Amino acid sequence: MPGVSVGILEDEIPQARLLAGWLESAGYDVFHSGSGKAFLAEMSEQSPDMLILDWQLPDCEGIDILTELRQSRGFSGPILFATAKNSEEDIIQGLDRGADDYLIKPLRKGELLARLSALWRRTGGDAADRIELGPVSLDMINRQAFVDGEEVKMTPTEFKLAACVFSNAGRLLSREFLLKEVWGVDAELDTRTVDMHMSRVRKLLKIGPNVGYCIKTIYRHGYRLEAL
């Protein structure tokens, strides 16, 4: 996501390097700190758009950093907790204190990137006048689609379907949901209508392994836009 910066708080250096590499490959600007104290100092210098926080740190707990950022420093961007702690109680506490999402380690690249971009959209990070992913760009105001800067002619329905899939990256979308969102009917239409249009969208927007993500067909369920 070009132009979006992410601050990472993670005390295990190999893990931090791995995360930073994944994010940089997806176009994010990244900074990293290995302790709570260093991270807070860095936060006074930089103004990241989003944060990924580890829970267990040498000098403090990530949850206290979260509270400090939300309550004392007024940080309002999306915060994702990434930690080995996996009890329901911990998850609830993290969300209560102001985290927007929660991932249990070990992290997986595709999932992390999908969650981050979903968070960014959900919290109105770019309010989606334009949705961009790899070579595809969707102009939501003029309802035009571009691949590598070249306009692609799509029918209004194909555009709506593409916009729905791209603004829900990482989420499993059932055929029934897509019918309702795009066609506005309660599945009176055959769900094969969705399949037909989806294959057109894939083809028109040249979606495939070479662009780093795909629209995966989930057998008997629907579709999901996934990073590869």
* Interaction site with Ca ion (CB under 5 A): 11, 54, 56
What is the smallest separation between the CB atom of 57 and Ca ion, expressed in angstroms? 6
Based on CB atoms, which residue is closest to Ca ion, 70 or 105?
Answer: 105
Decide if 59 contacts 37 (C-beta within 8 A).
yes
Based on CB atoms, which residue is closest to Ca ion, 85 or 197?
Answer: 85
Owner of token pair 């996996």: 86
Q: Where are the beta strands (DSSP E) in 70-143?
A: 79-83, 101-104, 130-133, 136-139
What is the smallest separation between the CB atom of 152 and Ca ion, expressed in angstroms? 45
What is the smallest separation between the CB atom of 25 and Ca ion, expressed in angstroms? 23
Decide if 18 contacts 25 (C-beta within 8 A).
no
Say how many CA atoms lie within 13 Å of 23 toward its Cβ.
25
Based on CB atoms, which residue is closest to Ca ion, 54 or 100?
Answer: 54
Based on CB atoms, which residue is closest to Ca ion, 54 or 158?
Answer: 54
- Report residue 115 CA to chain centroid gap: 4
What is the smallest separation between the CB atom of 119 and Ca ion, expressed in angstroms? 21
